[in-house]
C-alpha cells in the first residue's frame, strides 16, 4: 500500500536526532515557553527572513489571533480564496469578521485579478493562502493592499520556505502565519504554530496574548488566550528545520518526475506561476469529470490519494449562515470536484514513484 503521506518515513531518516533532542528536553525539567522555544523562534525568523517569530499552539491560532490583534472583527470583511482550507476561513470568522471569497486561478491560488471587484468600504484585509506549497502573486496583492490601505495576512501553513520572486513567503504582508501540524513541511510531533512579522509592536502583542494576556505573571493587560508552544515541539522543530531545505528539495524532485512522466491526457498536472516556486506540500492534479473514478482506480491498486478539499468553505455546513449557494463560486466548486492529491512524502522510494506514475498513466487510456 502506498499512502498519500507517510510521516514515519521522514521520521526514520533522522530518528536518532529526534530521540536525543526529546530526551534532552524531558531531562531539562522545563516544558513550556523556555529556551527551546526562544531558540526556535530566532531560527525560524532567520530562516524565513523576518525580524520576529512568535511560537503559538497551532496554525489556526496564528490566523485568528492575527486578525484579533489587527482589530478585525464584526462588520469587517476579509478577502480569501474560495478554494481555501476551512481553517483559513475560521481564522476570520472566529473574530466575527466576514469572509469574502474570490475565485482561484489555474495555479490553484487566489486570482489576484479578481480581488479588486470584491473590495468594499468594509474590506479590512486580504488573507493570502499559499495553497499546496505554491506562492500567490504577492506583487499584485501587495499593490492592491497599498492602494486600498488593507492589511495582508499570509497563510503559509502549506508553504514553509517557498518564494515569490526570490523572497520567502510570510514576509510580504503584515503577518505570516505558520502551522507545524505533523503533515506540514516543517512538521512537529503534535500541534504547533507560529507567526512572523517585522513589527516589534505586533510581536510583543502576540507574546502577551498567547499567555493569557500577561507580560508579567498574574498581571493581565488584555483578555488573551492560551496558545503557548511547548519546549518538546520547539526542540523537535529545531531538529526538523536543520533538514527542511533537503526535504523541500526532495519533494521538488518527486514533483518534477511526476510532471515529466505522467502523460495521461485525462490528467491536468499542476502548473507553477511564473515568479513563484513551490515546496510541493501536495502534488494536486485536476481530473475533470473522472476524479472519483481515478481515485477508486488507484485505491484498487493500493495507492492512497486525498482530496484537498472536497467541499469549498462557502458550501460547508459550518458556513450555511453566510447564505451562499452552489453556483456562487463555480471555479472553486469545479476544483472541489476535480482535484486529487497524489502520494507525496519525504522518503518516497523511486519504485513507489514509478508505481504511482504507471498507475496514473494506465487509467482509462485506450490502447
Ligand X SMILES: *Cc1c(COP(=O)(O)O)cnc(C)c1O
Q: By CB under 6 A, name the binding residues for ligand X.
A: 58-60, 85, 87-88, 129, 155, 157-158, 179, 181, 191, 193
- Closest listed residue to residue 331, CA positions, set 312, 318, 350, 308: 312
Backbone torsions φ then ψ of 202, nearest 5 degrees: -65, -45
Residue 364 has, within 13 A of its CA and on its CB side, a CA count of: 14
Output the smallest distance, CB 121 to ligand X, in A.
Answer: 28
DSSP 59-104: HHHHHHHHHHHTT--TT-EEEEETT--HHHHHHHHTTT-EEEEE-B
Q: Packing angle between helix 59-69 and helix 86-93, nearest 10 degrees?
A: 30
Please, which residue, 112 or 357, has the CB nearer to ligand X?
Answer: 112
Q: How far is the CB of 232 from ligand X (least distance, A)?
A: 16
CB of 66 to ligand X, least distance (A): 11
In the complex with ligand X, the residue whose CB is nearer, 163 or 294, is 163
Q: How far apart are CA 283 and CA 1, in angstroms?
A: 18
Residue 60 or residue 267: which is nearer to ligand X going by CB?
Answer: 60
Give min distance, CB of 111 to ligand X, in A.
17
Q: How far is the CB of 23 from ligand X (least distance, A)?
A: 25
d(C-alpha 269, C-alpha 363), whole Å: 15
Least distance in angstroms from the C-beta of 366 to ligand X: 38
Query: 298 by DSSP, 3-state: which?
Result: helix
Please check whether residue 336 is in contact with residue 354, taking contact to mean a CB–CB distance below 8 angstroms: no
Report the C-alpha gap between 307 and 290 in whole angstroms: 13
CB of 88 to ligand X, least distance (A): 5
Rounded least distance, CB 334 to ligand X, Å = 20
Between 70 and 129, CB nearer to ligand X: 129
Runs of H (alpha helix) within the chain: 7-13, 15-28, 35-48, 59-69, 86-93, 138-148, 200-209, 231-261, 291-300, 330-338, 350-362
Query: Minimal distance in Å, beta carbon 83 to ligand X?
Result: 11
List, as own/partner pairs, every contact residues 24-30 make where C-beta atoms lie below 8 angstroms and the sequence separation is at least 24, other chains included.
24/235, 25/231, 25/232, 25/235, 26/232, 28/231, 30/231
In the bound state, the residue with its beta carbon closest to ligand X is 59
Based on CB atoms, which residue is closest to ligand X, 168 or 179? 179
For strands 123-129 and 77-81, give the pairing.
Answer: parallel
Nearer to ligand X, 129 or 254 (CB): 129
Is 181 or 206 the residue whose CB approaches ligand X more closely?
181
Place of cell 514513484: 353
Report residue 366 as a C-alpha cell. 485506450
Cα gap 154→170, rounded to integer Å: 6
Q: How far is the CB of 179 from ligand X (least distance, A)?
A: 3
Amino acid at each position: 500500500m502506498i499512502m498519500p503521506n507517510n510521516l514515519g518515513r521522514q521520521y526514520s531518516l533522522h530518528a536518532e536526532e529526534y530521540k536525543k533532542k526529546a530526551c534532552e528536553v524531558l531531562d531539562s525539567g522545563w516544558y513550556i515557553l523556555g529556551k527551546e522555544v526562544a531558540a526556535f523562534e530566532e531560527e525560524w525568523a532567520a530562516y524565513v527572513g523576518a525580524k520576529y517569530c512568535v511560537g503559538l499552539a497551532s496554525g489556526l491560532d496564528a490566523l485568528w489571533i492575527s486578525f484579533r490583534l489587527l482589530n478585525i472583527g464584526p462588520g469587517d470583511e476579509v478577502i480569501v480564496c474560495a478554494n481555501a482550507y476551512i481553517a483559513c476561513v475560521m481564522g476570520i470568522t472566529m473574530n466575527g469578521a466576514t469572509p469574502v471569497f474570490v475565485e482561484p486561478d489555474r495555479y490553484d491560488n487566489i486570482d489576484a485579478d479578481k480581488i479588486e471587484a470584491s473590495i468594499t468600504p468594509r474590506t479590512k484585509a486580504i488573507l493570502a493562502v499559499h495553497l499546496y506549497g505554491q506562492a500567490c502573486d504577492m506583487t499584485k496583492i501587495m499593490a492592491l493592499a497599498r492602494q486600498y490601505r488593507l492589511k495582508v495576512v499570509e497563510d503559509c501553513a502549506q508553504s514553509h520556505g517557498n518564494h515569490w520572486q526570490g523572497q520567502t513567503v510570510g514576509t510580504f504582508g503584515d503577518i505570516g502565519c505558520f502551522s507545524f501540524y505533523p503533515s506540514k513541511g516543517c512538521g512537529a510531533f503534535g500541534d504547533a504554530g507560529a507567526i512572523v512579522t517585522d513589527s516589534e509592536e505586533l510581536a510583543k502583542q502576540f507574546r502577551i496574548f498567547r499567555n493569557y494576556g500577561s507580560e508579567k505573571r498574574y498581571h493581565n493587560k488584555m483578555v488573551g488566550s492560551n496558545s503557548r508552544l511547548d519546549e518538546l515541539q520547539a526542540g523537535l522543530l529545531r531538529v526538523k528545520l536543520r533538514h527542511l531545505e533537503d526535504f523541500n528539495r526532495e519533494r521538488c524532485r518527486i514533483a518534477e518526475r511526476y510532471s515529466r512522466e505522467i502523460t495521461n491526457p485525462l490528467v491536468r498536472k499542476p502548473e507553477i506561476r511564473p515568479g513563484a516556486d513551490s515546496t510541493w506540500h501536495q502534488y494536486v492534479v485536476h481530473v475533470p469529470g473522472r476524479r472519483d473514478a481515478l481515485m477508486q482506480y488507484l485505491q484498487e491498486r493500493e495507492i492512497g490519494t486525498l482530496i484537498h478539499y472536497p467541499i469549498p468553505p462557502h458550501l460547508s455546513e459550518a458556513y450555511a449562515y453566510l447564505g451562499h449557494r452552489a453556483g456562487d463560486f463555480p471555479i472553486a466548486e469545479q476544483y472541489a470536484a476535480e482535484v486529487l492529491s497524489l502520494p507525496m512524502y519525504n522518503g518516497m522510494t523511486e519504485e513507489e514513484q514509478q508505481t504511482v506514475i504507471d498507475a496514473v498513466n494506465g487509467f482509462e487510456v485506450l490502447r
